């Protein structure tokens, strides 16, 4: 339950006392509302009429039970407690099955609501009711994250990424056989667009789980599509906390961040898999790959290095700034660069790290260690490591890739480059080795440790850098024009042109890269 979600309201057809006469408790001329709230400090369910529900019948959710009597009828029973020596039951009639399902899901969420007053534990005991998400993520980071994705302008930015949205649409509609008559869970549903795609493909029912305020907008959008809305239920909450009335045949989600793993939503996707997906159920997408290659870009290197020249001033209003120049220099290089670059800046074929969403463990995503080995194709200075990713929708009918590779149509993810503070000199055919080490942190991102080495004669060159994926340098929105003035030989080194298949740690081939035709079809 979100901290700022103090109430949740449903419109019901009628509420009747559970007696022999089953008389209605409220006037039939006015709408009857069921409202969950924390107004009294405890999770309560109030039934009444009017904005204030002044004539409300009140149930303490903590000591109440909800039973389904039929598709649109349920029974709510309040257990006896210290104040009451008897229980009370009422019959609730809903307007349709969807609203009945949504009410039952909400009831289970509010029943689990942890109230501050109840968390006062003796002798410093620790409550075990804290969300797993809250254990991993700083509250301030989560607040900003959900605030960001709760705004329509940011959802619009993603929807207008036509490579992203169009690929998802094609992957779903072209694999209609996977969705027809199936139960689908949309993890981190946002605006609800993927839920609507799944419903268009014939899903029996879609549960759209969204923790931010965007859940309310998703309900509006889905309600405005009457041919689909009776098969979609929006559930406001985190996948780590919510309960569903049934298992899913398919999970669909857009959990990818910069460098695939930024924002750590992949972990929530995996948790949703373990909690909600039937055995051998499908995941859209099902596989992700991070691709890495060394690059040479004198312009970018000088641009970053020159940012710190401000701190070389020895007489800035009478103050010597040079003591901070070294720290400022390191600070600028600690920012990964997010932009779209020309693929001809790559100086070796890429290597890949594969993450199978269907089998990876959540804990495997806490720390990702990738050994690096390249063979240079040119004589040049290496300025760092370029990274991009792709994901596979492994449908029964069509396999479709969504790629963020340089040279492919630009997406809102762009590409990412880690720039070394000290470049390396290499010759054609020279081996470049190193390590890319990602360590998750509580600000919903990763610390990146990059080391590259190259042997020149008898001297080993090594350059290392520590970067914070949470604090990138957003450089530009379109690929920089390639210039031969950088003393580089043009070389097409896209993943699609490589002769080296992706391999697991044991050396076994995992899958071939997408063909040029697959890339162009996106």
**Per-residue tens of pLDDT for the chain, all 522 residues:** 444 456 888 888 888 876 545 567 777 778 888 888 876 667 888 888 877 776 778 888 888 888 887 788 888 887 655 444 446 788 898 888 888 888 888 888 887 754 333 333 233 223 334 567 878 888 888 888 888 888 888 899 899 999 999 999 999 999 999 999 999 999 999 999 999 999 999 999 999 999 999 999 999 999 999 999 999 999 999 999 999 989 999 999 999 999 999 999 999 999 999 999 999 999 999 999 999 999 999 999 999 999 999 999 999 999 999 999 999 999 999 999 999 999 999 999 999 999 999 999 999 999 999 999 999 999 999 999 999 999 999 999 999 999 999 999 999 999 999 999 999 999 999 999 999 999 999 999 999 999 999 987 788 999 999 999 999 999 965 555 544 444 443 333 443 333 333 334 433 333 344 444 443 343
**Domain positions in the chain:** 8-115, 147-254, 288-474
Q: Identify the H or E element spanning 385.
A: strand 380-394
State how far the alpha carbon of 365 is from the alpha carbons of 368, 438, 502, 508, 509, in Å.
6, 9, 19, 21, 21
- SS3 of 287-323: the string is EEEEEEEEECCHHHHHHHHHHHHHHHCCCECCECCHH
Question: With contact defined as beta carbons under 8 Å apart, do 272 and 208 qualify?
Answer: no
Strand 473-474 to 337-339 pairing: parallel
What amino acid positions are annotated as catalytic residues?
A: 254, 263
Cα 239 to Cα 232: distance, rounded to the nearest angstrom: 17
**Under CATH, which number does the domain 147-254 receive?**
3.40.50.150
Cα 242 to Cα 209: distance, rounded to the nearest angstrom: 8
Question: With contact defined as beta carbons under 8 Å apart, do 293 and 397 qualify?
Answer: no
Q: Where are the alpha helices (DSSP H) in 277-434?
A: 298-307, 325-333
Q: Could you tell me how far CA 214 lies from the centroid of its own chain?
A: 14
Cα 389 to Cα 164: distance, rounded to the nearest angstrom: 13
- Dihedral sign computed on CA atoms, order 170, 176, 178, 181: positive
Angle at 259 between CA 256 and CA 265, to 5 degrees: 35
Cα 347 to Cα 357: distance, rounded to the nearest angstrom: 30
Task: Using a cut of 0.95, tell me whether the model's pTM lies above it.
Answer: no
- Dihedral sign computed on CA atoms, order 342, 430, 388, 351: positive
Q: Residue 60: its pLDDT value, please?
A: 87
Question: With contact defined as beta carbons under 8 Å apart, do 45 and 35 qualify?
Answer: yes
Residue 64, both tokens: 């109440």
Cα 406 to Cα 493: distance, rounded to the nearest angstrom: 9
**Under CATH, which number does the domain 288-474 receive?**
2.70.160.11
Nearest to 288 by CA among 318, 322, 258: 258
Beta strands in 112-244 (DSSP E): 183-187, 205-210, 232-236
Cα 431 to Cα 419: distance, rounded to the nearest angstrom: 19
Give, in words, the CATH class of 8-115: mainly beta
């Amino acid at each position: 339950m979100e901290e700022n979600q103090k109430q949740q309201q449903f419109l019901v057809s009628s509420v009747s006392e559970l007696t022999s006469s089953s008389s209605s408790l409220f006037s039939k001329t006015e709408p009857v509302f069921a409202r969950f709230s924390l107004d009294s400090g405890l999770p309560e369910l109030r039934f009444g009429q009017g904005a204030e529900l002044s004539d409300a019948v009140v149930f303490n959710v903590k000591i109440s039970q909800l039973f389904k009597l039929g598709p649109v009828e349920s029974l709510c029973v309040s257990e006896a407690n210290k104040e009451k020596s008897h229980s009370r039951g009422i019959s609730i009639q809903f307007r349709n099955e969807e609203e009945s399902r949504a009410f039952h899901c909400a009831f289970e969420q509010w029943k689990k609501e942890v109230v501050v007053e109840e968390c006062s534990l003796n002798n410093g005991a620790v409550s075990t009711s804290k969300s797993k998400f809250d254990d991993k993520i700083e509250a301030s980071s989560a607040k900003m994250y959900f605030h960001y994705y709760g705004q329509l302008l940011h959802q619009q930015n993603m929807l207008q990424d036509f490579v992203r949205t169009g690929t998802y649409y094609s992957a779903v509609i072209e694999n209609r056989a996977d969705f027809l008559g199936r139960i689908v869970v949309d993890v981190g549903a946002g605006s609800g667009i993927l839920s609507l795609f799944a419903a268009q493909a014939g899903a029996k029912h879609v549960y759209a789980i969204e923790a931010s305020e965007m859940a309310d907008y998703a309900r509006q959008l889905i309600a405005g599509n009457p041919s689909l809305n009776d098969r979609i239920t929006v559930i406001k909450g985190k996948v780590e906390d919510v309960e569903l009335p049934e298992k899913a045949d398919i999970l669909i989600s857009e959990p990818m961040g910069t460098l695939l793993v930024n924002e750590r939503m992949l972990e929530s996707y995996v948790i949703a898999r373990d909690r909600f997906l039937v055995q051998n159920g499908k995941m859209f997408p099902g596989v992700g790959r991070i691709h890495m290659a060394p690059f040479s870009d004198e312009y970018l290197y000088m641009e970053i290095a020159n940012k710190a020249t401000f701190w070389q001033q020895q007489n800035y209003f009478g103050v010597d700034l040079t003591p901070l120049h070294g720290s400022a220099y390191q600070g600028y290089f600690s920012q990964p660069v997010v932009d779209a670059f020309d693929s001809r800046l790559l100086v070796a074929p890429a290597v890949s790290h594969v993450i199978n969403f269907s089998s990876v463990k959540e804990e495997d995503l806490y720390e990702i260690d990738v050994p690096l080995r390249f063979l240079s194709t040119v004589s040049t200075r290496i300025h760092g490591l370029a990274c991009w990713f792709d994901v596979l929708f492994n449908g029964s009918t069509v396999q479709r890739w969504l790629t963020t590779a340089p040279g492919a149509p630009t997406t809102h993810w762009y590409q990412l480059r880690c720039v070394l503070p000290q470049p390396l000199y290499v010759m054609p055919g020279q081996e470049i080795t190193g390590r890319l080490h990602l360590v998750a942190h509580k600000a919903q991102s990763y610390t990146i440790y990059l080391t590259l080495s190259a042997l020149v004669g008898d001297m080993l060159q090594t350059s290392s850098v520590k970067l914070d994926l949470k604090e990138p340098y957003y450089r530009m929105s379109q690929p920089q024009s390639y210039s031969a003035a950088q003393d580089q030989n043009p070389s097409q080194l896209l993943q699609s042109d490589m002769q080296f298949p992706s391999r697991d740690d044991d050396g076994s081939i995992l899958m071939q890269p997408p063909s040029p035709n697959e890339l162009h079809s996106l």
